[in-house]
């Protein structure tokens, strides 16, 4: 175990033998740091927090601290982080609250760039990229393989569907459709399937074309959502990706960006 002599570590924490704790890091009680995870310097961890294997925390990140939600009254809540994540400078991740299940969860293989903020009770999947300055308000769910570009702000309780791409400076107040490419300029609208990202991940040409047709019917055919869904079911070849979009729309409580 490599622990710099300037680090301050609570005796109740559990640090794997192969973990590395750099200069001036502070680890509070009830923190678990998994094998080969490295805290570079000036990292602050507060428990209860569980961190998996092979994560890399850059300087001045603060993890597991109390929520900024004024309803939070100090109830026991936790933070869970998976494996192989890269947590860049000044990232803040707040633990859960009683109003959201008491857990903030981060999956595996994610890149959280500098100044990203993940508020209480958020759930972030795997292979997610949150670019500089992304802010997730409380209770946000981010699916696998999502990329949120710089300075996106996500409203409480919104869902970001799997394999979607959101352009920079987009303010998100409704759910973002899976597989979509959504950009907010003067207005937030879907521009079509996230073609480049899906091609890179091995989705078939047929699946991508079905998604593109579905998005055209949803956003550019002059139809309301119910009419568009009827046309999609009648005209677009059945596939898991299209069905996921339709189910996503059906279960949305806030409406979806079109």
The Cα-based distances of 142 to 19, 123, 197, 255 in angstroms read: 28, 6, 16, 16
Q: Among the residues of the chain, which ranges form H helices? A: 195-200, 205-219, 225-235, 240-250
CA–CA separation, 134 and 109 (whole Å) = 17
Nearest CA among 255, 218, 214, 258 for reference residue 236: 214
Of 138, 161, 184, 192, which is the active-site residue?
138
Nearest CA among 234, 232, 202 for reference residue 215: 232
The Cα-based distances of 182 to 79, 97, 162, 165, 255 in angstroms read: 29, 30, 13, 6, 15
Of 42, 117, 120, 163, which is the active-site residue?
120
Tell me whether residue 138 is one of the annotated catalytic residues: yes
CA–CA separation, 120 and 70 (whole Å) = 11
Of 54, 121, 126, 175, which is the active-site residue?
121
Tell me whether residue 127 is one of the annotated catalytic residues: no
DSSP code, position 63: E
Active site residues: 120-121, 138
């Amino acid at each position: 175990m490599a622990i710099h002599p300037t680090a301050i570590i609570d005796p109740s924490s559990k640090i794997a033998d192969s973990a590395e704790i750099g200069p001036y890091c502070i680890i509070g009680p009830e923190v678990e740091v998994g094998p080969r995870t490295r805290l570079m310097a000036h990292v602050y961890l507060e428990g209860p927090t569980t961190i998996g294997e092979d994560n890399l925390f850059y300087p001045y990140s603060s993890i597991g601290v109390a929520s900024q939600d004024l309803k939070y009254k100090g109830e026991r809540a936790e933070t869970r982080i998976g494996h192989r994540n890269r947590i860049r400078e000044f990232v803040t991740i707040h633990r859960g609250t009683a109003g959201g299940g008491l857990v903030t969860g981060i999956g595996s293989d994610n890149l959280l760039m500098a100044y990203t903020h993940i508020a209480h009770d958020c759930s972030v999947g795997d292979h997610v990229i949150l670019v500089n300055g992304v802010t997730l308000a409380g209770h946000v769910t981010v699916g696998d393989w999502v990329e949120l570009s710089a300075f996106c702000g996500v409203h409480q309780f919104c869902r970001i569907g799997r394999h979607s791409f959101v352009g920079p400076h987009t303010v998100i107040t409704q759910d973002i459709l899976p597989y979509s490419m959504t950009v907010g300029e003067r207005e937030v609208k879907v521009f079509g399937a996230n073609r480049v990202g899906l091609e890179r991940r091995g989705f078939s040409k047929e699946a991508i074309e079905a998604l593109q047709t579905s998005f055209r019917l949803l956003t550019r055919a002059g139809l309301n959502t119910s009419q568009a869904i009827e046309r999609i079911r009648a005209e677009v070849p059945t596939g898991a990706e299209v069905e996921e979009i339709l189910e996503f729309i059906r279960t949305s409580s806030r409406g979806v960006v079109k």
